Structure 1
């Protein structure tokens, strides 16, 4: 039975990934317009072609375009002004995103890596790794993109 269910999932994988990549790209572009968002980390911005790619170098952008022409997936992160208090308010303010430390689900997920996935790591190592107290990670699912953006917008604005 499990193999049968896996095969059913594989049949729709390409369609699901296209939706997740399109939504993740739109969300990353949206987040760049929010004043309280300091940085957006999503390699897919290099494929958007709008000049807003926030990668470290033009050569990295070229690698993304060459190696991932169909998109880089549905996981992105962003940094906000403030720290854990603002992040907690944003997480508490979302209604569409589920607060779960997984990735790759059909549901959209939100988590604060410094408190969940990296909680056992020293603050110094977290900072060196780019996992600050102000980092939020999203795993984009199959919900309507406009609903996801509206949820993030109201949660971020409500946190400040």
Structure 2
């Protein structure tokens, strides 16, 4: 479920009139400040959670590596998602919050720019790759980890204004 300050069009913007894949033309769109936040969660066993939160993982600071991976992924989003525009991001932030009770790490990203198109895909890519990096660094200790609940939390800017997940 979600809420929005404006209604959204039910048409798919990445298809042309013939139904073919099409990069959206943003030439005439106004340059505005745009921000998006996203989150994802990686669940693991208690031993792995303690290993990474106490800094005792033999691969070192897995959070530092995952943070850098998430930032790099946001910058490379258009190389990964075929119809995404290459963007000049002015801010990418990746943060982690720890849920000790459930042995989970919540990964949150924020992407920002001044431009003609939104940054939701960059925020989602940052979260996804940060979670995948945590998985990669910890898979020997816990191959049963699960990544999930990846979603956009907020987006601001452009014609559609502010949108927030419920």
Query: TM-score, normalised to structure 1's length?
Result: 0.28
If asked which structure has higher relative contact order (CA below 8 Å, sep 6+), I would say 2
Whose helix fraction is larger, Structure 1's or Structure 2's?
A: 1
Which has the higher Rg, Structure 1 or Structure 2? Answer: 2
Whose strand fraction is larger, Structure 1's or Structure 2's?
A: 2
